[in-house]
Structure 1
């Protein structure tokens, strides 16, 4: 079957109406960890041909439920049934054999293996004990055509984009004939094109009658994709709503955070001071023409644009992570040149990167180590670290920013995205930074934690710091910024004050001709 034939076949499905009977049924699921009740008698049902959204703040119990479904966590109480038959998944292998697949945010692929080998991992075809490469490649090609992906099956997975890797994960699930497929924050690292492709695949899976769980923090995705949405809070099932435009957003937010949020962004106007950062004719990788702009003390400047517009590349040029080919940077009226990020930090410029896990933290290190990693030179004497001062600094910022962690020795990789972001902010607050470059500061962060992050950004601006917020979230950049710069295809194409930064105006500037 060709790609076009597959797409035509998928398009021929009538809009699926979900079977009213539950295919997946979880009743009274309780999960306990030492000192923590992670799930408290949670119940959830998912029907055939349904996309069931699952929402809640970080720590609400969503990931724990997926781990119960996949056989990673064993419940202390409760039952799990598939098509009316009670199941007990004591291993992930048992869950897979029963037709359950989880597409995690951190994809479970082997980078050094080929696309074909990853698609059939655990079930590689063989002849007389020797890998049957011809059959392997033929099956992989059929599955890739089914997904509408033009990928060389002999290519190593490490060379694929995030979106392509995600399609390989979905392909693995389909080749195992999974009837229940759960997606955990699947669009957090995808471009707009890749997101559209993913939604097309999910709708096709729905049309085939599969039961789909869709975990997300993004309300727009729930309205566009889901039939019902269930909200978890503090390990409990709070409510299940019929999705669609009839579902009130304020009601959904209130269910998630336990309080009413009239305005998630809570914009706080303030006076601004003199120009603190000025970029003149800066040029380098990712930019198609020299970039120039300025930002004042106490100002929050938003940068909006489509994926690939050059926003992140511009931030890295300012920060010294990438060497510029030309132009100049002026900080507090003084021309500066940053050969490395260390130079930028010591001059008072810091970057919270887009890829928090890969570029912002050392996931296996403690909260304290991550927080002090830049400023620890202040705590050493003759190359001997002062552990007591480091511990106290971590303790102070954990309290000041309300970081949810047992203590400073907790591995940062175990914290939620919002709390990891707070640790990164604490790192720079300990350095007395003047200019904060915030690249996608709330990516993968729930609505309650977002509100806290916005409050921290407003606090920085009110203290006279300059904050630059790069965001692909149109509502976010309009909601928090005093003015918005728009980038398109490596160029700054607009500079709009808040009053003129409407969705229509920004989209019109950002879209390619």
Structure 2
């Protein structure tokens, strides 16, 4: 690997009103290396990347790129210097083709018209270097998430980028799609292009990165060679302590014949004849490949989406939910996997978000009382140890982990009998994950029914007492105890029989 520095950040600080987001941070990325950047939510990773990407200016400090002083004032400055930034939330125009997205703002022309022939030829040539198997004429809205990522990467490659920044690139990808992305990163590395890889997934950091830099509370902790350290070394650097066991102990209080939820032959869009029970004291996990119908079952159970047939029993009583609010009133709540678009009101305050599911508790004669709103919200901020600057601040200012805790607090305020969490720790750092896992165990032991849907096999194995595995809209089987392993889950998820 080339030891020549491509990006050099020295003593970089960023101060926002009332908070110091970065405090004298340093970072060095070599030419042709894959460099990991890790840290808990709120550690300063996004702020640092936004400065490098020209989104916001630094308060103080020095940056050099390719040996020259680097002071970007807008994203185009970073782009022109040779920095490509693929955000976790992809920034594409879905109604345009892949080619138009790749060359947006610099479309080839003939006279006063777009030269579509050259556009598609150039775009296909770039996509071919990334081993893409779709035409550049395809509308972005018709592409999978992994294919859309390739369009974003192609955009950077077409600009002759020297450094590619990938922010949580695998959060919505399957294992197969992740493997393909990693091959793209390796191919770019072979061409001398550096990658800055931001991720909470230790397994991926150790698989793809050469070195890793850790930030904590806006400060630089250290830079380590991946081949010389363990997962535990990075985690300890991130959280400042040894986390011990990543997952809580399994439940010893499961009441085998006491069913909180009983579902019989539930069928709907994307699933058919699904039957299962949720026992008091247990956490039930749902596993399966993307598109297997896990989320669809949960949304049907809660009447978010309509069902075709099937019976649902809550504590022995048959239910007929016409709308989601009927399920909520009976004590069943669903925490979406997409907290930013479907779970939270990002433009509203922390207090308004937490109280939004239980307006009756904070209202009097149809009017919301601010003191009640703040009292209810403060209760769950304290109970869940949510780190906030104040209840009146926009929830969009919080880290992913604290946003997720606010979403949990929002639904706990309704005193649920059953809480369903879809991808409970997506995009959340390892410290916050442990806190949420412990919270779920605590809820189950208090008698609240807990169902989790997760694509992370270590999480589903570590947290759930029993695992339902789905394949193409049907239940392929249940696993518990010594039956549980990644291999057995994947066998059922892929339609194979357990030997």
TM tier, shorter chain? Answer: over 0.9
Change (3 A) 1:194 1:504: closer
Which residue of 225, 235, 238 corresponds with 1:253?
235
Secondary structure in 2 matching 1:110: coil
Matched, 1:339 2:339: no
Q: CA RMSD in A?
A: 1.6
Instruction: State the alpha-carbon separation in 1 of the partners of residues 143 and 321 from structure 2.
Output: 32
Counterpart Cα distance in 2 of 1:107 and 1:486: 30
Match of 1:277 among 237, 261, 267: 261
Question: Which residue pairs with 1:172 in the alignment?
Answer: 155
Q: 1 CA distance for matches of 2:141 and 2:60?
A: 40
Q: Which of 246, 269, 282 is residue 264 of structure 1 equivalent to?
A: 246
CA contact (8 A) 2:363 2:372 kept: no
> Per-residue CA shift, 1:107-133, capped at 9, x if unaligned?
222233322211111211123343222
**1:463 is matched with which residue: 421, 446, 449?**
446
What whole-Å deviation, never above 9, does each CA across 1:414-455 have from its counterpart, x for those lacking one? Answer: 211111111111111111101111111001000010011112
1:93 counterpart = 2:76: yes
Residue 11 of structure 1 aligns with which residue?
A: none
8 Å contact 1:52–1:226 — kept in the other structure?
A: yes
Question: In the alignment, is residue 242 of structure 1 matched against residue 244 of structure 2?
Answer: no
Tell me the TM-score normalized by structure 1: 0.93
User: Cα offset for 1:269?
Assistant: 2.7
Indicate conservation of the 8 Å contact 1:272/1:464, yes or no. Answer: no
Match of 1:15 in 2: none
Aligned pairs for 1:390-409 (under 5 A) are 390-409=373-392
Matches within 5 A, 1:353-364: 353-364=336-347
- 1:79 and 2:78 correspond: no
- Number of residues paired by the alignment? 494
8 A Cα contact 2:361 2:372, kept in partner: no
Q: Cα deviations across residues 467-493 of structure 1 (Å, max 9, x unaligned)?
A: 011111111111111111211222212
The whole-number CA distance in structure 2 between the counterparts of 1:337 and 1:327 is 10
Alpha-carbon offset, residue 268 of structure 1: 4.9
Q: Secondary structure at the match of 1:290?
A: strand
| CA–CA distance in structure 2, aligned partners of residues 377 and 426 of structure 1 | 16
Segment drifting more, 40-49 vs 260-269: 260-269
CA distance in 2, matches of 1:296, 1:267: 17
In the alignment, structure 2 segments of 5+ residues that lack a partner are none
1:34 is the counterpart of 2:20:
no
Shift of 1:99: 0.4
Whole-Å Cα distance in 2 between the matches of residues 295 and 477 of structure 1?
Answer: 16
Which whole-Å deviations, capped at 9, do the CAs of 1:180-211 have from their partners, x for residues lacking one? 11100011112233222211111111111111
For structure 1, which runs of at least 5 residues remain unmatched after alignment?
Answer: 1-17
Counterpart Cα distance in 2 of 1:57 and 1:47: 24
User: Equivalent of 1:67, from 46, 50, 55?
Assistant: 50
Question: CA separation in 1, counterparts of 2:73 and 2:438?
Answer: 43
Between 276-285 and 25-34, report the one with greater CA deviation: 25-34
Deviation at residue 36 of structure 1 after TM alignment: 1.7
2:286 and 2:468 in contact (8 A); partners too: yes
Structure 2 residue matching 1:494: 3-state secondary structure: strand
Find the aligned partners of 1:43 and 1:380 in 2 and give their Cα distance.
49
Which residue, 424, 427, 436 being the options, matches 1:441? 424
TM-score of the superposed pair, with normalisation by structure 2: 0.95
